Amino acid sequence: MKRRKATTRLSILVVVLGLVAAACGSTPDDAGGGGDFQAAIITGTAGLGDKSFNDSANTGLQRAASELGIKVVVIESAQNSDFEPNLDQAPHQGNNIAFAIGFQMVDAVTTAAENNPDMLYGIVDAKSDAPNVASLLFREEQGSFLVGVVAGLMTKSNEIGFIGGLEIPLIKKFEVGFRAGVMSVNPDAVVSVNYAGDFGDPARGKEIAISQYASGVDVIFHAAGGTGLGLFQAAIEKGPGAWVIGVDADQLALAPDNVLTSMMKRVDVAVFDTIKAAVNGEFTGGARVFGLAEEGVGLSPTTSTNTPADVIARAEEFAALIISGDIVVPTNDDELASFTPPSP
């Protein structure tokens, strides 16, 4: 317990990769003019190693260190009450920009930004009105539509499942987009929806998954963070034909024989692009939205491991229609009710 508390505010992992790059023959100017610039991420309570949201943000951070020649810092949060002090202290630890990783930090980052008007901040999945905060938002419904296409074409039972963390507008975008994708290629399929009420309860996620598989479901998509890790355990125990669709990061490694694809949410791209803009003096506050057109969402690169080429090609056809605006993916139940699937 004492060790865990220490990682709350003061366990800061400082990775001075800019200096390493210089030692290898690359200077900050060569890498993009980083100099003494330092960037930080403040993780959600799942911390690093979640194989999802926080790890993706860290990937973008480390890319910035490597390509831009900057210093980077990871500040892990043990509990929600750590968010505000971690964000408020970031400028006093030498950081020029700090990212709040998760919508739960919106109030904390807004307060920190007001307390530190010369500091730059970013927040993922929420919108702050503070002028020195970049709000990094995603069109989760678009990527979820594509994995819905995969699920609708891969199911043999016509019984498909969705497991969400909290039933909030953000996660509804995953659910509704997924259901729209399923109905667009398989109108006979039924999607069973369950919300766990938690993003950090793998046991609950496994329990829901076991129940869904037992009812005849053969493909399950989750948008449940750490709770979703239980789905992979359930699929492995169920065996071949118990398909899983991961989320946020490429989650094939969690169940190599069961994962069809993952709905990639490129938090790493958003973090890197925002840091690069800040390093180049081009940072602007306000919202920036990442969808299929911005390569902010999409299928995982390992999709072909367990998914046939013709199914992937079909998903890519729909991606082109979404990017062109010929398909507008619904984001809530009301929009789904009026959504008309495209003609085959």
Question: Would you list the domain boundaries of the chain?
Answer: 2-138+267-290, 140-264+308-337
Give me the chain's average pLDDT, please.
90
Res. 193: pLDDT tops 80? yes
Domain pair 2-138+267-290 / 140-264+308-337, same fold: yes
Q: How confident is the model at residue 281 (pLDDT cuts 50, 70, 90)?
A: very high
**CATH number, domain 2-138+267-290:** 3.40.50.2300
Res. 82: pLDDT tops 60? yes
Q: How confident is the model at residue 34 (pLDDT cuts 50, 70, 90)?
A: low
Res. 4: pLDDT tops 70? no
Is the CATH number 3.40.50.2300 carried by domain 140-264+308-337?
Answer: yes
Percent of the chain with pLDDT strictly greater than 70: 90
Q: Reduced to 3 states, what is the DSSP secondary structure of residue 198?
A: coil
Res. 12: pLDDT tops 70? no
Q: What's the confidence (pLDDT) of residue 47?
A: 86
Q: Reduced to 3 states, what is the DSSP secondary structure of residue 6?
A: helix
Q: What's the confidence (pLDDT) of residue 52?
A: 81
Res. 45: pLDDT tops 90? no
Pairing of β 259-265 and β 297-299? antiparallel
Q: Reduced to 3 states, what is the DSSP secondary structure of residue 265?
A: strand
Percent of the chain with pLDDT strictly greater than 90: 83
Q: What's the confidence (pLDDT) of residue 343?
A: 72
The better pLDDT of the pair 124, 8 is held by: 124
Residue-wise pLDDT for 130-148, tens only, equals 999 999 999 999 999 999 9
Residue 119 has, within 13 A of its CA and on its CB side, a CA count of 25
Q: Return d(Cα 134, Cα 122) in angstroms, integer.
A: 5
Q: How confident is the model at residue 344 (pLDDT cuts 50, 70, 90)?
A: low
Res. 11: pLDDT tops 80? no
Average pLDDT, integer, range 72-87 = 95
Q: Return d(Cα 115, Cα 3) in angstroms, integer.
A: 30
Whether the Cβ atoms of residue 103 and residue 223 lie closer than 8 Å to each other: no
Q: State how far Cα 107 lies from the chain centre.
A: 20
Res. 10: pLDDT tops 70? no
Res. 49: pLDDT tops 80? yes
Quickly tell me which residue has 């307390």 as its tokens: 115
Q: Return d(Cα 197, Cα 209) in angstroms, integer.
A: 14
